[in-house]
């Protein structure tokens, strides 16, 4: 079956760094997406990885290891506005996103 595993909730301090991990099992693989979703709002795209390694985009970076079925999202210089859920979504062989339930990130001053 297809499965996504990410922590339900994490807490971090403003200005710090946090790493949100995601492990996945899918039928085939066509890359992995990370989305940010603020409470009551729609998801917005953060990153896409299809090859192994780290992709950096400003304060956010995303890492992929296809052999391990593992990805992480790294958020630096945390700001209060980063309080949101972060959804890991690998794409299977049918080009369908398999969504995780998300990690709720709470930022404290």
Binding residues for other proteins, rule: CB under 8 A, are: 4, 30-31, 33, 40-45, 48, 50, 87, 91, 95-97, 99-102, 104
Q: How many CB atoms neighbour CB 73 within 10 A?
A: 25
Complex with other proteins: residue 33 or 63, whichever CB lies closer: 33
In angstroms, what is the minimal distance from the CB of 26 to other proteins? Answer: 13
In angstroms, what is the minimal distance from the CB of 4 to other proteins? Answer: 7
d(CA 5, CA 101): 8
In angstroms, what is the minimal distance from the CB of 15 to other proteins? Answer: 27
In angstroms, what is the minimal distance from the CB of 89 to other proteins? Answer: 8
Complex with other proteins: residue 69 or 100, whichever CB lies closer: 100
State the first-to-last Cα distance of the chain, in angstroms, to the nearest integer: 40
Complex with other proteins: residue 45 or 77, whichever CB lies closer: 45
Using the 8-state DSSP alphabet, how is residue 88 labeled? E
> At a CB cut-off of 8 Å and minimum separation 6, what does 49 contact?
31, 32, 55, 62, 63, 64, 71
């Amino acid at each position: 079956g297809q499965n996504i595993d990410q922590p339900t909730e994490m807490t971090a301090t403003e200005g710090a760094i946090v790493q949100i991990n995601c492990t996945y099992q899918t039928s085939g693989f066509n890359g992995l997406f990370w989305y940010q979703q603020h409470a009551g709002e729609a998801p917005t795209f953060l990153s896409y990885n299809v090859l192994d390694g780290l992709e950096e985009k400003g304060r956010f970076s995303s890492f992929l290891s296809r052999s391990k079925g593992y990805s992480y999202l790294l958020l630096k210089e945390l700001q209060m506005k980063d309080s949101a859920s972060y959804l890991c979504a690998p794409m299977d062989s049918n080009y369908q996103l398999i969504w995780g339930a998300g990690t709720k990130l709470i930022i404290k001053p």
